[in-house]
Chain A
């Protein structure tokens, strides 16, 4: 009986650990102008170091997976490119044209966590000279494209023929 309990507990632990996935939240500036990303995290959350990649030679619409298969690795974003206010739990990042920023990464356990609760980000605003996107609350991640466990918000402000799918 004792062994049965132990086996059950081990099996449960294995099951839960096997069901945990790493997730990433990316913002892509697919425009030729810089954009500003402003976000706020909840009280239990912590800021990740933002990482950046250039997307110049990629056709994002064809496959976002290229982000991961490309040999080029993520680089730390220069400190001059973002500001963090720990008191208000807000961060502002400037994203250069055709740059991808990873603003959050973590673990997601689909068994115990609701999809909308996944991120610590509770507010997100993306601004450029050509418009604004802003989300507040649990609606936030549902407005991202999902590729596996990568959540992507792509900021594009001109309709370009070169982007053909």
Chain B
């Protein structure tokens, strides 16, 4: 009986360890490399929950500085809750995290319907980008399994 209990504990711990080591978050990030401020408009799926928007800046090589991610303050974006529309401005050489997905295995597997951003508009000095429906997810370029980007440049 004692032996069985020990075995069960080991099994539970192993399962927890296995699950923990196999999960990751994929970040979906919009980067402004245009040298001018840009305006971003996101329409989220209904009841998509709390916004988890974070911002960082780019180093001199144009790479995201991971240590500088900071939650966007309420005054840094407008959130039209009934319509699930978020608008924000992004300065040059800044990046904003607009969505995070658990265990996303890339554009080559699964279904795109889960993605919570349903339309995306980016306006700036170099022109306009408009993405709708499944193309919002598809146009994020895979940098690695945990980072997908749209670069405005």
A interface list, Cβ under 8 A from B: 61, 116, 126, 130-140, 142-143, 155-161, 163-165
The total number of A-B Cβ pairs within 8 Å is 77
B39 to chain A minimum Cβ distance, whole angstroms, is 13
B108 near A143: Cβ-Cβ < 8 Å: no
A132 near B107: Cβ-Cβ < 8 Å: no
Chain B's interface size range is 20 to 34
A2 to chain B minimum Cβ distance, whole angstroms, is 45
Interface residues of chain B: helix, strand, loop or mixed (majority): mixed
B103 contacts the other chain (Cβ, under 8 Å)? Answer: no
B interface list, Cβ under 8 A from A: 106-112, 124, 126-136, 138-139, 151-153
The CA of A142 and the CA of B134, in the complex, are separated in Å by 20
Q: A134-B130, A139-B127, A139-B128 are in contact. List 20 more A-B contacts (CB 8 A).
A: A130-B134, A131-B133, A131-B135, A132-B135, A133-B130, A133-B135, A138-B126, A138-B127, A139-B152, A142-B126, A156-B138, A157-B138, A159-B106, A159-B109, A159-B110, A159-B111, A159-B112, A160-B108, A161-B109, A165-B108
B126 near A116: Cβ-Cβ < 8 Å: yes
